[in-house]
Structure 1
Amino acid sequence: MLRQFLSKIPRSFGNSDSPELTRPNSFMTAGPHTHRSNSFNSGCGRPCATKRTSSSIFPASVVAGIEPLLPFKNAPNSEKMNLFVSKVSLCCATFDFSDATKNSIEKDVKRQTLLELLDFVASGSIRFSEPAILAMCRMCSTNLFRVFPPNYRSITSNNGENDDDDPIFCSAWPHLQIVYDLLLKFITSSCLDAKVAKKYIDHAFILRLLDLFDSEDPRERECLKTILHRVYGKFMVHRPLIRKDISNIFYRFVFEEERHNGITELLDIFGSIISGFALPLKEEHKIFLQRVLIPLHKPKTLGVYFQQLSYCVTQFIDKDPKLSSTVIKGLLKYWPITNSQKEVMFLDELKDILEEIDMVEFQKVMVPLSWQIGRCINSFHFQVAERALLFWNKEHIINIIAHNRHVIFPIILPALEKNARNHWNPSVLNLL
Structure 2
Amino acid sequence: MFNKIMKRGQKKPSKSEATEPPPVATATAAPNVAAAPQPLLSLATIQNPGVVEVLPMLRDVAVPDRHVVFIRKVLVCCFFFDFSDTMKSAREKEIKRQTLAELVDIVQSGSCKLNEIMQEDMVKMISMNIFRCLPPAPHENSGADGGDPEEDDMFMDPAWPHLQLVYELLLRYVVSPDTDTKLAKRFIDHSFVIKLLELFDSEDMREREYLKTIVHRIYGRFMVHRPLIRNEINNIFYRFIFETERYNGICELLEILGSIINGFALPMKEEHKLFLVRALIPLHKPKSITTYHQQLSYCITQFVDKDYRLSDTVIRGVLKYWPLTNCGKEVLFLGELEEILEVTQSAEFQRCMVPLFRQIGRSLNSPHFQVAERALFWWNNEHIVALIAENRHVVLPIIFDALEKNIRSHWNQAINGLSANVRRMFQEMDAELFDECQRQHAAKEAMAGKLEEQRVSTWKRLEEVAARTMGKNMVLV
**TM-score category by the smaller chain?**
0.7 to 0.9
Does structure 1 residue 137 correspond to structure 2 residue 123? Answer: yes
TM-score (norm 2): 0.76
Supply the AA of the counterpart residue of 1:328. Answer: I
How far the C-alpha of 1:68 sits from its partner, in A, is 6.7
Contact 2:48 2:75 in 1 (8 A): no
What do residues 239-288 of structure 1 show as CA deviations (whole Å, max 9, x unaligned)? 10011001111111111100001111111111111111111111111111
Q: Does 1:199 align with 2:224?
A: no
Partners of 2:367 and 2:101 in 1: CA distance: 59
Query: What's the offset of the Cα at 1:165?
Result: 2.2
Pair 1:70-2:56 in alignment: yes
CA distance in 2 between partners of 1:245 and 1:408 (Å)? 42
Q: For residue 313 of structure 1, what is the aligned residue in structure 2?
A: 300
**Structure 1: gaps spanning 5 or more residues:** 1-12, 22-58
Residue type of the alignment partner of 2:348: E
CA distance in structure 2 between the partners assigned to 1:356 and 1:225 by the alignment: 28
Contact 2:258/2:295, CA 8 A, preserved across alignment: yes
Which structure exhibits the higher relative contact order, with contacts defined as CA atoms closer than 8 Å and separated by 6 or more residues?
1
Post-superposition CA distance 1:68-106 (Å, at most 9, x none): 712112212233233222211210011110111111111
> Of the candidates 160, 166, 169, which is equivalent to residue 182 of structure 1?
169
**CA distance in 2 between partners of 1:349 and 1:181 (Å):** 36
Q: Deviations over 1:143-182 (max 9, x none)?
A: 1111224423266776233523221100111111111111
SS in 2 for 1:161: coil
Q: Is the 8 A contact 1:392 1:398 kept in 2?
A: yes
| Aligned position for 2:418 | 431
Choose the corresponding residue for 2:114, options 111, 128, 132.
Answer: 128
Partner residue, 2:103: 117
Task: Please say if residues 406 and 416 of structure 2, whose CA atoms lie closer than 8 Å, have aligned partners that are also in contact.
Answer: yes
1:63–1:83 Cα contact (<8 Å) kept? no
- Cα distance in 2 for residues equivalent to 1:209 and 1:231: 11
The correspondence of residues 351-366 of structure 1 with structure 2, limited to 5 A, is 351-366=338-353
Q: Show the counterpart of 2:246.
A: 259
Q: Which moved more, 1:303-312 or 1:126-135?
A: 126-135
Residue pair 2:40, 2:67 contacting (<8 A) in 1 also: no
CA drift of 1:15 comes to 2.1
Taking the TM superposition and a 5 Å limit, the aligned residue runs for 1:52-71 are: 60=44, 62=46, 69-71=55-57
- When structure 1 is superposed on structure 2, of 191-200 and 380-389 the one drifting more is 191-200
Tell me the CA shift for residue 361 of structure 1.
0.4
- State the distance in 1 between where 2:44 and 2:417 align: 73
Within a 5 Å distance, the mapping from 1:71-86 to structure 2 comes to 71-86=57-72
8 Å Cα contact 1:121/1:189 also seen in 2: yes
TM-aligned CA distance change 1:400 to 1:413, over 3 Å = same
The 1-side partners of 2:316 and 2:257 are apart by: 22
Alignment equivalent of 1:417, drawn from 398, 404, 412: 404
The sequence identity of aligned pairs, in percent, is 57
When the two chains are superposed, the root-mean-square deviation of aligned CA atoms in Å is: 1.9
CA contact (8 A) 2:318 2:333 kept: yes
Is 1:285 matched up with 2:272? yes
- Matching residue of 1:226: 213
Q: Which residue does 1:39 correspond to in 2?
A: none
Q: Does 1:101 align with 2:87?
A: yes
Asked if the contact 2:251–2:295 (Cα under 8 Å) also holds between the matched residues in 1, the reply is yes
Q: CA deviation at 1:297?
A: 0.9
Runs of 4+ in 1 over 4 A off after TM superposition: 154-158
* Structure having the higher Rg: 2
| Matched-pair contact (CA < 8 Å) for 2:358–2:399 | yes
Cα deviation 1:262-318 (Å, max 9, x = unaligned): 111111111111111111111111111111111111111111011111111111111
Task: State the partner residue of 1:396.
Answer: 383
* Residue aligned with 1:277, SS: coil
**Partner of 1:147: helix, strand, or coil?**
coil
Q: Distance in 2 between matches of 1:144 and 1:289?
A: 31
Separation in structure 2 between the aligned mates of residue 200 and residue 159 of structure 1, nearest angstrom = 38
CA distance in 2: counterparts of 1:337 and 1:238, whole angstroms: 41
Query: What is the CA–CA distance in structure 2 between the aligned matches of 1:321 and 1:281, rounded to whole Å?
Result: 11
Unaligned runs of 5+ in 2: 1-37, 420-477
For normalisation by structure 1, the TM-score amounts to 0.84
Q: Secondary structure of 2:287's match?
A: coil
Matched pairs, number: 378
CA distance in 2, matches of 1:309, 1:215: 20
